[in-house]
Amino acid sequence: MDDQTRMMTGLTGLGGLAQADVGDPDSVRKQQSLGQPQQDIGDILQQIMAITDESLDEAQARKHALNCHRMKPALFSVLCEIKEKTVLSIRGVQEEDPPDPQIMRLDNMLLAEGVSGPEKGGGSAAAAAAAAAAGGSPTDSSIEHSDYRAKLAQIRQIYHSELEKYEQACSEFTNHVMNLLREQSRTRPISPKEIERMVAIIHRKFSSIQMQLKQSTCEAVMILRSRFLDARRKRRNFNKQATEVLNEYFYSHLSNPYPSEEAKEELAKKCGITVSQVSNWFGNKRIRYKKNIGKFQEEANLYAVKTAVDAANVSAQASQANSPATPNSGSPGSYSLSHTGDAYLSLRSLNGDGLNIAPSLQPQVDTLHRATHLTGGYEELSGSGLYTPHCLDANSWQDTTNPPSVTSPPGPPGSVHSDTSN
**Which residues of the chain form contacts with DNA (CB under 7 A)?**
133-135, 230-238, 243, 258, 276-277, 279-281, 283-284, 286-288, 290-291, 295, 397, 401-403, 417-422
CB of 414 to DNA, least distance (A): 14
CB of 103 to DNA, least distance (A): 32
CB of 115 to DNA, least distance (A): 24
Taking phi over 0 as left and psi of -120 to 50 as alpha, with beta for the rest, 278 belongs to alpha
CB of 276 to DNA, least distance (A): 7
Given the complex with DNA, which of 260 and 340 has the nearer CB atom?
260
Given the complex with DNA, which of 163 and 231 has the nearer CB atom?
231
Strand partners, 417: 260
Of 355, 391, 373, 245, the C-alpha closest to 309 is 373
CA atoms of 352 and 103, how far apart (whole Å)? 76
Residue pair 79/188 in contact (Cβ under 8 Å)? The answer is: yes
CB of 268 to DNA, least distance (A): 11
CB of 304 to DNA, least distance (A): 18
Given the complex with DNA, which of 7 and 126 has the nearer CB atom?
126
Given the complex with DNA, which of 277 and 301 has the nearer CB atom?
277
Given the complex with DNA, which of 233 and 390 has the nearer CB atom?
233
Q: What DSSP letter does each residue of 145-157 carry, written as one string?
A: HHHHHHHHHHHHH
Residue pair 315/378 in contact (Cβ under 8 Å)? The answer is: no
Counting beta carbons within 10 angstroms of the beta carbon of residue 152, is it exposed (0 to 12), middle (13 to 18) or buried (19 or more)?
Answer: buried
CB of 242 to DNA, least distance (A): 7
CA atoms of 409 and 415, how far apart (whole Å)? 9
Check residue 379 and report its DSSP letter: H
Given the complex with DNA, which of 77 and 247 has the nearer CB atom?
247
CB of 296 to DNA, least distance (A): 9
Phi, then psi, of 385 in degrees rounded to 5: -70, 150
Given the complex with DNA, which of 216 and 421 has the nearer CB atom?
421
Phi, then psi, of 417 in degrees rounded to 5: -80, 140
CB of 280 to DNA, least distance (A): 4
- Rounded (5°) CA angle 266-270-275: 55
Given the complex with DNA, which of 136 and 377 has the nearer CB atom?
136
Given the complex with DNA, which of 291 and 390 has the nearer CB atom?
291
CA atoms of 105 and 107, how far apart (whole Å)? 5
CA atoms of 115 and 92, how far apart (whole Å)? 37
CB of 226 to DNA, least distance (A): 9
Given the complex with DNA, which of 72 and 417 has the nearer CB atom?
417
Strand partners, 260: 417
- Angle between helix 138-184 and 192-229 (nearest 10): 170
What's at 385, amino acid-wise? G
Q: Residue 136's CB: how many other CB atoms inside 10 A?
A: 22
CA atoms of 211 and 103, how far apart (whole Å)? 6
Residue pair 282/257 in contact (Cβ under 8 Å)? The answer is: yes
Residue pair 300/356 in contact (Cβ under 8 Å)? The answer is: no
Given the complex with DNA, which of 277 and 336 has the nearer CB atom?
277
Q: Is 260 helix (H, G, I), strand (E, B) or coil?
A: strand
CB of 98 to DNA, least distance (A): 39
